[in-house]
């Protein structure tokens, strides 16, 4: 393209490149490697979901839905939240359907964080949070999940709170570590935020993927926390449809009013027939309640595959990610190791240092086990040879 004027762009995000998920998935495709990097299933979703969605399309339900989402979907979400966490959210005022959790997170940050405000995040931190904070002129303040148990240190978090702290973002079950926050963690958060104006943004997209009989601790189940929180979830994770990009956010009406002010001009709303299809499909609760045992079998299968390898597996209490130390195999930095594993061994993974602002490298990589057993077995055979 020819342009006479040389435009100088002063990037708002000078240190941000292409997300690691795009980089590693592309490398996997280029090398023909088994892709255990970006988190998505390699198996098909339930045909009943497609039929319900196609029915909606054929019935002519193809125009704009209400800004907050289809009423039947918001009611189904309210019913699910009540059944799981014992609290009724108002489907008209307190639940909004979003274009995936990513948009919910970005919009929530844009709605509440002003220039110069501080937002506390926990490292290793999911990659979309900090760019969203910085895009709106906020400042990320970093707390740490300890290595290798990935637990928060709440007294340290207390010392990071300042008059400028506007938001704390938590994520449980946690990507990339597979760790969980429990009731004591949430109690500590209640104490920390009491009598402040801090909004809690709780990323609970893996709420149904919790293992070994444990229960997901949602901020929704604690009234004092719920009243200052927006909770985010994603149908992509729950129904194996990451490419549909549909999620939702729920929270107290005063917070949701502010969220929607931005949402209506950010995406306005989310496609109609998929919302109707999901509303119909989610009425059968076994479809989300069965997810934990479904993925627990995959976790155990994948861990068995790596038994006898030189990878050292860290605990995985939830999500569909398994972390592994590789210091018995190589002393390369994790980004290099991930590239090498993809190119030379044929298995793509995510290096965990990308989730640290200073590139802290504990020589740990992340595997996604949301895959068919044949895929996990083929990867296991390669990984045991390393
Ligand atoms: N938060 C976390 C912790 C995630 O792992 C993901 C995606 N895997 C998202 C948010 C984004 O979800 P979505 O694909 O629905 O935008
Ligand atoms: N959340 C997914 C993961 O952690 C990736 C989502 C994306 O590619 N943006 O792998």
- Give residue-wise pLDDT tens across range 226-253: 999 999 999 999 999 999 999 999 999 9
Q: How confident is residue 9, by pLDDT bands cut at 50, 70 and 90?
A: confident
Q: Looking at residues 308-317, what average pLDDT do you find?
A: 97
Nearest ligand (C-alpha, residue 245): 1
**Residue of higher predicted confidence among 46 and 2:** 46
Whether the per-residue pLDDT at 72 is higher than 80: the answer is yes
The pLDDT value recorded for residue 8 is: 80
Q: What is the pLDDT of residue 174?
A: 98
pLDDT exceeds cutoff 90 at 378: yes
The CA 141 to ligand 1 mean position distance, Å, reads: 21
Whether 2 shows a pLDDT value over 80: the answer reads no
Q: Report the pLDDT value the prediction gives residue 163, as an integer from 0 to 100.
A: 97
CB 175 less than 6 A from any atom of ligand 2? yes
Confidence of residue 49 (pLDDT cuts 50, 70, 90): very high
pLDDT at 1 over 70: no
Average pLDDT over residues 356-374: 97
pLDDT single digits (tens) 85-116: 999 999 999 999 999 999 999 999 999 999 99
pLDDT of residue 103: 98
pLDDT digits (tens, 9 = 90+) for 171-229: 999 999 999 999 999 999 999 999 999 999 999 999 999 999 999 999 999 999 999 99
pLDDT above 90 covers a percentage of the chain that reads: 96
| C-alpha of residue 206 to centroid of ligand 2, in Å | 12
Percentage of the residues of the chain whose pLDDT score is greater than 70? 99
| Distance (Å) from CA 142 to ligand 1 centroid | 20
Stronger pLDDT, 15 or 52, i.e. the higher one: 52
The residue nearest atom 7 of ligand 2, judged by CA position, is 21
Residue 4 is predicted with a pLDDT of 76
* Per-residue pLDDT, 18: 94
Cβ of 251 closer than 6 Å to ligand 1, yes or no, is no
Close Cβ partners of 334 (under 8 Å, ≥ 6 residues apart): 326, 351, 352, 353, 361, 362, 363, 364, 365
Mean pLDDT over 253-270 rounds to 98
**In angstroms, what is the span from residue 168 Cα to ligand 2's centroid?**
21
Question: Does the Cβ of 171 fall within 6 Å of ligand 1?
Answer: yes
Average pLDDT over residues 121-137: 98
Ligand 2 pocket mutation, candidates 40, 124, 176, 236, criterion most atoms within 8 A of CB? 40
Q: Looking at the predicted structure, is the pLDDT value of residue 303 above 80? A: yes
Residue 5 has pLDDT above 90, yes or no: no
The response to whether residue 236 sits with its C-beta less than 6 Å from ligand 1 reads yes
Full-model pTM: 0.97
């Amino acid at each position: 393209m020819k342009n006479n004027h040389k435009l100088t762009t002063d990037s708002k995000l000078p240190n941000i490149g292409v997300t690691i998920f795009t980089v590693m998935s592309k490398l996997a495709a280029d090398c023909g490697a088994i892709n255990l990097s970006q988190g998505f299933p390699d198996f098909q979703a339930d045909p009943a979901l497609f039929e319900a969605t196609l029915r909606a399309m054929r019935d002519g339900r193809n125009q704009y839905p209400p800004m907050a989402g289809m009423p039947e979907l918001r009611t189904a979400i309210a019913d699910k939240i009540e059944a799981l966490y014992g609290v009724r959210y108002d489907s008209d005022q307190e639940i909004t359907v979003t274009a995936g959790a990513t948009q919910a997170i970005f919009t929530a940050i844009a709605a509440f964080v002003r220039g110069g405000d501080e937002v506390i995040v926990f490292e290793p931190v999911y990659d979309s949070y900090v760019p969203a904070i910085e895009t709106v002129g906020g400042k990320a303040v970093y707390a740490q999940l300890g290595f290798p148990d990935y637990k928060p240190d709440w007294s340290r978090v207390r010392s990071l709170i300042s008059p400028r702290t506007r938001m704390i973002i938590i994520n449980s079950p946690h990507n990339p570590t597979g760790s969980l926050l429990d009731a004591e963690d949430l109690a500590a958060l209640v104490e920390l935020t009491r009598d402040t104006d801090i909004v809690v943004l709780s990323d609970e997209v893996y709420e149904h993927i919790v293992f070994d009989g444990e229960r997901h601790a949602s901020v929704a189940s604690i009234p004092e926390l719920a009243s200052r929180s927006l909770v985010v979830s994603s149908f992509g994770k729950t129904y194996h449809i990451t490419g549909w990009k549909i999620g939702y956010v729920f929270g107290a009406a005063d917070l949701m009013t502010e969220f929607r002010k931005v949402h209506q001009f950010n995406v306005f709303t989310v496609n109609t027939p998929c919302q109707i299809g999901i509303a119909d499909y989610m009425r059968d609760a076994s479809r989300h309640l069965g997810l934990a045992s479904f993925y627990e079998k995959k976790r155990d299968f994948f861990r068995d595959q790596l038994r006898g390898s030189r990878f050292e597996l860290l605990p995985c209490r939830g999500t569909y990610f398994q972390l592994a130390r590789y210091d018995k195999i190589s002393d390369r930095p994790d980004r290099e190791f991930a590239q090498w594993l993809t190119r030379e061994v044929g298995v793509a993974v995510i290096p965990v240092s990308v989730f640290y602002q200073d590139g802290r490298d504990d020589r740990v990589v992340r595997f996604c086990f949301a895959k068919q057993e044949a895929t996990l077995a083929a990867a296991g055979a390669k990984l045991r040879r390393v």
